[in-house]
Amino acid sequence: MPVGDLTFPEMHPVAGFTIGTTAAGVRYQQRRDLVVMGAAVGSTVGAVFTQNAFCAAPVSLCKQNLKISAPRYCVINTGNANAGTGAQGDLDAISVCAALAKLTDSEPHQILPFSTGVIGEPLPVAQIVNGLPDAVAELSVTGWEDAANGIMTTDTLPKGASSQLEIDGHSVTITGIAKGSGMIHPNMATMLAYIATDAAIESDLLQSMVEQVVAHSFNRITIDGDTSTNDSFVVIATGKSTLPNLIVGESSAARQFMMALEEVALELAHKMVRDGEGATKFVTIKVTGAESSVEALNVAFTVAHSPLVKTALFASDPNWGRILAAIGRSEVDNLDVSLVKILLDDVVIVESGGRASSYSEELGQEVMDRDEIVISIDIGRGDASETVWTTDLSHEYVQINAEYRT
């Protein structure tokens, strides 16, 4: 079960952006698994993709198409990643785009394809193409929740976030969905996420915003340390709000919008962690006192990825020596362990190179029994700090991934 409240929120419609979802039978029977998204003519887009060398065919095609023009439509299938499929996978992604372009009176290069699911299996093109007319027929500004369900794989619940802000007296909407609960570790974004806004934003600025936003949200979460072949994060700005001016760089409007966009992305990222495969804990790891952001992240992710730390979290075992050992192997040059301080929530467990004099097993146990835990680590070297979010490692995680294809 997810950690915390993942009730699907009210999703504010985005003018100029529509969504349609259907059941195409790609892999799952009797569930929605094919999504089409439509954007108004003149929309701008910002996008980032996986850095995995075995990137999926749709990722490669998205990158190519974005060099030609802004997209009019996105098409997403779940159940099959179309990754590790060689030249045929490229042809299959092209076929899907061509079919949707024909249905929507657009050009194939105006289509962005996305896939998620099992790696290495041929994409069932015929089923996807046959399902496209139904998805197109369902296009609506209110289709967010169906789409959030339609892009899930091992997720247990759909994930959405929506916000409205006022810029220069005009309402601007930011609404998005995401999927991901396993194979989650930063190397771009590690999931599929789609955010739409009715603001009008200059194209290069939007791309810069997306890169900054992903660095502080989706690139700060990890479930298992694995990076998917299909990771994609896309923000589309339709320009259909009543805000009369284009949002440009270094403006107060740009700063307002950027903050709101990051809040929506961070909410989606946190929901992915809360719904991590087999997760029973939502864990925040805060590292302070580092010489650089890179150093802080190295420490945080070393702790977050430690199987021993993660299994102790699952067992609610205050075995703090595992945290200490992970910090010690995080490749911090000349780490002075006498300056390191570690806390579980507000309980000091380590200081001056060893167990804190105020610490007791009972205090540690009280914190470890909680569903949400903050591990604070001060390494006493500088002023840089970073925060990442992760989960524990449970029996259910092993079972989900052991049985994924069966």
Q: How far apart are CA 56 and CA 401, in angstroms?
A: 20
Going from N- to C-terminal start, the domains of the chain cover 17-274, 282-390
Q: What is the DSSP string of 316-331?
A: T---THHHHHHHHTS-
Q: For residue 218, how far is the Cα from the chain centroid?
A: 5
Residues 6 or more apart whose Cβ sits within 8 Å of residue 67 = none
Q: Is there a catalytic annotation at residue 154?
A: no
Tokens representing 166 are 């006022």
Q: Which whole-number Å values give the CA distances from 141 to 24, 59, 200, in the listed order?
A: 21, 26, 18
Which pLDDT tens digits describe the chain residue by residue (406 residues)? 788 888 999 999 999 999 999 999 998 888 899 999 999 999 999 999 988 888 999 999 999 999 999 999 999 999 999 999 999 999 999 999 999 999 999 999 999 999 998 899 999 999 999 999 999 999 999 999 999 999 998 888 999 999 999 999 999 999 999 998 765 676 655 589 999 999 999 999 999 999 999 999 998 988 766 677 888 999 999 999 999 889 998 899 999 999 999 999 999 999 988 987 778 899 999 999 999 999 999 999 999 999 999 999 999 999 999 999 999 999 899 999 999 999 999 999 999 999 999 999 999 999 999 999 999 999 999 999 999 999 988 887 677 667 666 6
Phi and psi, residue 145, nearest 5°: -65, -40
Q: Domain 282-390 classified CATH 3.10.20.340?
A: yes
User: Of 174, 178, 134, 139, which Cα lies nearest the Cα of 159?
Assistant: 178
Q: How many CA atoms lie within 13 A of 284 on its CB side?
A: 17
Which of 190, 227, 238, 391 is flagged as catalytic? 190
Region of 181 (left: φ > 0; alpha: ψ -120 to 50; beta: rest) is alpha
Count CA within 13 A, CB hemisphere, residue 157: 19
- Residues forming beta bridges with residue 166, ordered by sequence position: 171
Structure tokens at 291: 């010489």
User: pLDDT at position 262, please?
Assistant: 97
Cα–Cα distance between 349 and 366 in angstroms, integer?
13
The three-state secondary structure class of 155 is coil
- Model-level pTM? 0.93
Query: Could you check whether 17-274 and 282-390 share the same CATH topology?
Result: no
Q: What is the pLDDT of residue 190?
A: 57
pLDDT at 401: 67
Q: Which CATH superfamily, name and number, covers 17-274? A: L-amino peptidase D-ALA esterase/amidase (3.60.70.12)
* pLDDT for the residue 331: 87
